[in-house]
Structure 1
Amino acid sequence: MTLTSAPADVFAPVPPLAARARSIGGSPVRDILAVTARPEVINFAGGLPAPELFDAEGVAAAFRAVLEEAPAQALQYSTTEGEPTLRAALAARMSVRGLPTTADDVLITTGSQQALSLLATALVEPGDTVLVEEPCYLAALQVFGFAGARVLGVPGDADGPDPEALAELVVRERPKLLYTVPTFQNPTGRTVSAERRAEVASVAARHGLWIVEDDPYGELRFEGERVPWIAAREEAADRTVLLGSFSKVMAPGLRLGWLRAPAAVRRACVVAKQAADLHTPTVNQLAAARYLADRDLDAHVARVAAVYGERRDAMLAGLSEVLPEGASWQRPEGGMFLWVRLPSAYDTTALLPEVVRHDVAYVPGTPFYAGTPDRATLRLCFVTETPERIAEGLRRLGEGLKG
């Protein structure tokens, strides 16, 4: 049989993208913030750790060691669950912090963002309801939305999600899971109190709810006492998945995260990860394990936290002088972010282009809401600028907010 070519004008169109991909549009805020890469812009919009504080020498030494001593292993495929030495080291760190854990409880992921995607695959059917904090980490909203979930926000206050509102939503909406960042939350910087964590765990236990507890910032504490994980509470032990990451305490470029989960969920996530990327890069895992063996990560994190604390204090010291009367903000005990609420007449998305013209940037609060957003809110990241540049950035911010 002879094949002939049809004229170009009669070619059939290619099949469309999947509906979930078609629903993901561009972001005008992202377009505006693209200009913040200019060196003259003082950027409070990012969510990046300070690169000058990376232990580059220590990480490089760890890579050199594994490549010199075990190149065949470091450059080879690995198991989907992750390198046993790294899993054991992470299990030991969690156990010391009050959550008894074995290596078999841990799955290594390509950043904790992948852990979220794996959990969405393992737990969420299209049309399922997922509860999140209001406001919520933006990328979690994207993951659950992409999975086809119906995402509802749980109202709360400075102590975290309101347990009564959570219980009402669970009874009425029958959600599959609650996603929470209880320590130094992104975007608000708040920490959920121990009492509130106990109440959230109790709701999950009484009504049958998974809890996904994301903890990327918990080690970056400047003051106050550490609050135990929800996962460490007895009533929540069989229904809480704890996520962790090296991104904020070692280096985000390593793309190393992990999840600690009950066996059934962990096994499902292993299958999902096999389909996604087979395993997280072996050499990165071995280098991280070597770093933990040869270096004092806790001492490094303490040095980083001390610098971040000074930068937080610099931002807090200047806010009252530049923000309009009636503005309010929270004092985070750690982490990377500070949440500001301007008087209700302000729309921080509409104001952003004018603020950027003053060579300073923030992230408007609107994208962090699953429900009706508070348009007068904004997020400031204080870790990537020096105290001197923070002071100048706040001066520019005040000028920009005047319009």
Structure 2
Amino acid sequence: MPVSAAATVAAAAAKALAPPPAFAARATSVEGSPVREILALTQRPGIISFAGGLPAPELFDTEGLRASYDAAFAVSARRALQYSTTEGAPELREAVAARATARGLPTDADDVLITSGSQQALTLITATLIEPGDVVLVENPTYLAALQCFGLAGARVVPVPCDGQGILPDALADLVARERPKLLYTVPTFQNPTGRTLPAARRAAVAETAARLGLWLVEDDPYGDLRYEGSHVPWLAAQPGAEDRTALLGSFSKIMAPGLRLGWLRAPAALRRAAVVAKQAADLHTSTVDQLAAAHYLATVDLDAHIATVRAAYRERRDALQTALSRTLSADCEWNLPAGGMFVWARLPEDHDATALLKTAVAHDVAFVPGAPFYTGPPDPRTLRLSFTTHTPPEIAEGVSRLGHALQEQGGR
């Protein structure tokens, strides 16, 4: 069949088209989250997943939140559906400030910026402080999405030596003196992924080092309300010397619902103002209707009573996981007992690899997150993270039994 002249010209033109420019180097140098990939893998029916750091959906206060959205529309639908200020709804900022003050950190509404989840708060702080090549210090292991955030900013991420209680203050001081970092990122309370909590004395030492050597502190606290035993440890932001250099990140995801995508940033005035400008460039402001609904909820519902219900359920599930691990795994496996939060950190016997075990575990209809992606530098391949919040105690027992069978198949218990 003869080809028309027009078709020939079009084909020649298509061949002559230049490709679009390449992606930015940061877009190709930072990998996607293995946790998200594992969660997608484990969606099939029947699998018991300890992989996700997800709140239990059956514990959401759906009726209270539904009523709060109704109220947001009833009070002023026009306001609820309209653009808002970048800093956030005044009544929600006031509620956040009141809760922070009640926890021992005097805070005014003007100290608070409402964000689209605390993850955005971290992104805004990173955009404000970090230039390509700047050094960022992190716990090792640390929150995976923080590593992604710093990687996209072009930072050089350096791990701080830690033990079972978190950062070693003397090692931190040596690193700060040697590396001259811009900031230290830490999850000091019920850390993700390890579940450990930094003691008060070490927090004071970290604040002293930051003040003496010149360092920003970024304190991420999404889990602090989920304490099952022991006494509250004051925020790093409340330590002497940390007042003018700490960005405190908080979230409603673990205590109300993650689908709201509501978080907050408390920071010194100059840093907060810069973060406001960065947020204007990112999304103008966080959803107005979600903010107003949350503010109404905080004004009319006893959130602390709801949190107490959540804590009781999670404590039972944490204990069920501890019992199941003790009954199923041998003495050459290790795991911790977190005083709160959502995660247990475990270590397999010598010569085992958690990433390799995951494939066998999924075949046994159970899943977890290998520890390797949470590390900066060489990982401990035997480590794994187990989340206990989204399954009942009987399901947890069955899941650990399946994990034990998978480990036996790999050649050990």
- Normalized against structure 2, the TM-score is what? 0.95
What displacement does 1:324 show?
A: 3.7
Amino acid at match of 1:366: A
Name 1:222's counterpart in structure 2: 228
Preserved contact between residue 115 and residue 263 of structure 2 (Cα < 8 Å): yes
Show CA shifts across 1:182-236 (max 9, x none). Answer: 1111000111111111111111111101110000000011111000001011211
Which residue is equivalent to 1:162?
A: 168
Cα offset for 1:152? 0.9
Question: Superposed, which structure 2 residues align to 1:44-123 within 5 Å?
Answer: 44-123=50-129
Is 1:259 aligned with 2:265? yes
- Of residues 140, 144, 153, the one that matches 2:146 is 140
Q: Which residue of 2 aligns with 1:186?
A: 192
1: CA distance between counterparts of 2:253 and 2:298? 14
Deviation at 1:34, TM superposition (A): 2.4
- Structure number with greater Rg is 2
Pair 1:283 & 2:299 matched: no
Cα contact 1:324–1:342 (8 A) shared by 2: no
CA distance in 2, matches of 1:33, 1:76: 35
Give the secondary-structure state (helix, strand or coil) at the position aligned to 1:45: coil
* Separation in 2, partners of 1:219, 1:230: 15
State the shift of 1:26 in Å. Answer: 4.8
Q: Which residue of 2 aligns with 1:200?
A: 206
Query: Residue 385 of structure 2 corresponds to which residue in structure 1?
Result: 379
Which aligned segments of 4 or more residues in structure 1 are displaced greater than 4 angstroms? 26-33
Whichever residue aligns with residue 308 of structure 1, its letter is Y
2:341 aligned to which of 320, 335, 338: 335
Q: Which moved more, 1:360-369 or 1:26-35?
A: 26-35
In the alignment, structure 1 residue 13 sits paired with structure 2 residue 19: yes
Q: Which runs of 5+ in 1 are unaligned?
A: none
What is the alpha-carbon distance in structure 2 between the residues aligned to residue 25 and residue 164 of structure 1? Answer: 32
Q: CA deviation at 1:393?
A: 0.3
User: Cα distance, 1:323 vs. partner?
Assistant: 2.2
Partner amino acid for 2:121?
A
Do the aligned partners of 2:33 and 2:145 also contact (CA within 8 Å) in 1?
Answer: no
Is the Cα–Cα contact under 8 Å of residues 159 and 196 in structure 1 kept in the other structure? Answer: no
Which structure 2 residue ranges, 5 or more long, are not aligned? 1-8
Are the aligned partners of 1:327 and 1:341 in contact in 2 as well (CA < 8 Å)?
Answer: yes
Quote the Cα distance in structure 1 between the aligned partners of 2:400 and 2:134.
Answer: 42
Q: Distance in 2 between matches of 1:291 and 1:7?
A: 60
Q: Please show how residues 282-301 of structure 1 align to structure 2 within 5 Å.
A: 282-301=288-307
Partner SS, residue 17 of structure 1: coil
Q: Name the aligned partner's letter for residue 254 of structure 2.
A: K
Task: Give the Å deviation of 1:371.
Answer: 1.6
User: Once structures 1 and 2 are overlaid, which stretch shifts more, 144-153 or 22-31?
Assistant: 22-31
Q: Is the 2:208–2:240 Cα contact (8 Å) retained in structure 1?
A: no
Q: How much has 1:401 moved relative to structure 2?
A: 1.2
Amino acid at match of 1:372: P
Residue 318 of structure 1 and its aligned partner are, at CA, apart by 1.2
Structure-2 separation of matches of 1:335 and 1:395 = 23
Task: Answer yes or no: is 1:308 the counterpart of 2:276.
Answer: no
Corresponding residue for residue 218 of structure 2: 212
What is residue 42 of structure 2 aligned with on the other side?
Answer: 36
Whole-angstrom CA distance in 1 between matches of 2:216 and 2:119: 18
Paired residue for 1:395, among 401, 404, 411? 401
1:247-276 C-alpha deviation (Å, 9 max, x unpaired): 000000000000000011101100000000
Partner of 2:255: 249
- SS for the counterpart of 1:379 is strand
1-structure distance, mates of 2:135, 2:349:
32
State the secondary structure of the residue aligned to 2:241: helix
Which of 233, 236, 246 is matched with 1:240 structurally?
246
Determine helix, strand or coil for the equivalent of 1:117: helix
State how many pairs are aligned.
400
Moved more, 343-352 or 329-338: 343-352
Residue 179 of structure 2 is aligned to residue 173 of structure 1: yes
Residue 268 of structure 1 is aligned with which of 274, 279, 283?
274
> Counterpart of 2:382 in structure 1: which amino acid?
A
1:277 alignment partner AA: D
AA partner of residue 47 (structure 1): G
- Give the corresponding residue for 2:6: none
Question: Secondary structure of the equivalent of 2:340?
Answer: coil
Counterpart residue identity of residue 339, structure 1 = W
Letter in 1 for 2:293: A
AA matched with 1:363: V
TM-score (norm 1): 0.97
Task: Provide the C-alpha distance between the structure 1 equivalents of 2:34 and 2:281, rounded to a whole number of angstroms.
Answer: 33
1:27, CA displacement in angstroms?
6.0
Structure 1 CA distance for aligned equivalents of residues 200 and 32 of structure 2 = 39
The CA distance in 1 between the partners of 2:376 and 2:385, in whole Å, is 16
